């Protein structure tokens, strides 16, 4: 996924098509936690209480996933940016450039993926689950024949990611169509131009406490908490 596409996705997330009110919290430019004053990324709060997605995703998983794993990506991103700054200005070891470039890609991927992930879910009684409507629903029918076929491929592709990674529904703007992709780790196997719309985390840390090795059960549960209105908003923004 190119940086431009990531920025487009985050720009959309940040309210380019109008602020979204979710759980009383309006998403804004601060959705990604960038602090202009400090020149650092900060961990954005969850858009709902950590127990809000029970029983589909349990509170302890949410607390550890957000407070430890996602926080780690934010720290890693800031560290990579700082080390690359030092290398550019002659204070750092140029021989380590490749290492920090890899760190940048991995941790920026982690931070953006998780920010999209949290905001792409909602409790079932606050808009989670169901099916998309509007232009996204029409596009899904065009590109996958039906919502059910898309949902099947999304779950199957996500279930079969080797090791740690993500399943994504993306907008491919050149072909003007939706696609489902697998992502390994936080950044591999996405192609330039793909705009992320819906992504599910299939690292074991996302489901192991409740589901152990039953990734498919976790994915079935995940379908009950997808915030389709937010995904539809990202789709509209990606095509604008």
Q: How far is the CB of 73 from Mn ion (least distance, A)?
A: 8
Nearer to Mn ion, 203 or 235 (CB): 203
Do 118 and 222 contact (CB within 8 A), yes or no?
Answer: no
Q: How far is the CB of 29 from Mn ion (least distance, A)?
A: 23
Nearer to Mn ion, 66 or 139 (CB): 66
Q: How far is the CB of 213 from Mn ion (least distance, A)?
A: 17
Instruction: Let me know if 55 is exposed, middle or buried by CB neighbors in 10 A (0-12, 13-18, 19+).
Output: exposed
Nearer to Mn ion, 69 or 126 (CB): 69
**11: number of Cβ within 10 Å:** 16
Do 175 and 149 contact (CB within 8 A), yes or no?
Answer: no
Q: How far is the CB of 24 from Mn ion (least distance, A)?
A: 25
Q: How far is the CB of 113 from Mn ion (least distance, A)?
A: 7
Nearer to Mn ion, 157 or 178 (CB): 157
Q: How far is the CB of 187 from Mn ion (least distance, A)?
A: 13
Report if residue 230 touches Mn ion, rule: CB under 5 A: no
Q: Write b or e for each residue in 192-223: b if 16 or more Cβ atoms lie within 10 A of its Cβ, otherwise e.
A: ebbbbbbbbbbbeebbebbbeeebeebbebbb
Nearer to Mn ion, 12 or 200 (CB): 200
Q: Alpha-carbon distance 79 to 67, whole Å?
A: 18
Report if residue 201 touches Mn ion, rule: CB under 5 A: yes
Q: Which stretch in 62-70, 180-188, 190-198, 226-234 sits in contact with Mn ion by CB under 5 A?
A: 62-70
Handedness of CA 169, 199, 24, 19 (dihedral sign): negative
Contacts of 234 (CB under 8 A, 6+ apart): 9, 12, 13, 195, 196, 197, 198
Write out the binding residues for Mn ion, residues 67-106 only, by CB under 5 A: 69
Site string for Mn ion, 138-177 (x = CB under 5 A): ----------------------------------------
Closest CA to 210 of 109, 48, 23, 63: 63
Residue nearest to Mn ion (CB): 201
Nearer to Mn ion, 151 or 202 (CB): 202
Q: Which of 73, 106, 166, 203 binds Mn ion (CB under 5 A)?
A: 203
Do 183 and 189 contact (CB within 8 A), yes or no?
Answer: yes
Q: How far is the CB of 173 from Mn ion (least distance, A)?
A: 27
Do 221 and 57 contact (CB within 8 A), yes or no?
Answer: yes
**Three-class DSSP category at 42:** coil
Residues that bind Mn ion (CB under 5 A): 69, 201, 203
């Amino acid at each position: 996924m190119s940086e431009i596409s990531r920025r487009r996705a985050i720009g959309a997330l940040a309210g380019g098509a109008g602020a979204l009110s979710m759980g009383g919290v309006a998403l804004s430019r601060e959705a990604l936690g960038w602090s202009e004053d400090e020149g650092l990324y900060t961990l954005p709060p969850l858009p709902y209480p950590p127990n809000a997605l029970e029983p589909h995703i349990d509170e302890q998983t949410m607390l550890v996933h957000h407070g430890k794993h996602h926080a780690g990506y934010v720290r890693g991103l800031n560290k990579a940016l700082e080390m690359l700054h030092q290398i550019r200005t002659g204070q750092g070891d140029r021989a380590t450039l490749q290492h920090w470039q890899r760190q940048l890609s991995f941790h920026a991927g982690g931070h953006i993926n998780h920010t999209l992930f949290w905001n792409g879910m909602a409790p079932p009684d606050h808009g989670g689950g169901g099916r998309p409507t509007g232009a996204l629903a029409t596009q899904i029918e065009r590109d996958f024949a039906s919502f059910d076929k898309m949902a099947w491929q999304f779950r199957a592709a996500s279930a079969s990611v080797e090791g740690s990674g993500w399943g994504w529904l993306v907008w491919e703007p050149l072909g003007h169509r939706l696609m489902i992709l697998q992502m390994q780790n936080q950044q591999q196997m996405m192609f330039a131009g793909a705009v992320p719309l819906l992504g599910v985390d299939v690292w074991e840390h996302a489901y192991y406490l409740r589901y152990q090795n039953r990734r498919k059960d976790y994915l079935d549960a995940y379908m009950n908490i997808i915030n389709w209105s937010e995904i539809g908003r990202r789709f509209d923004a990606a095509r604008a």
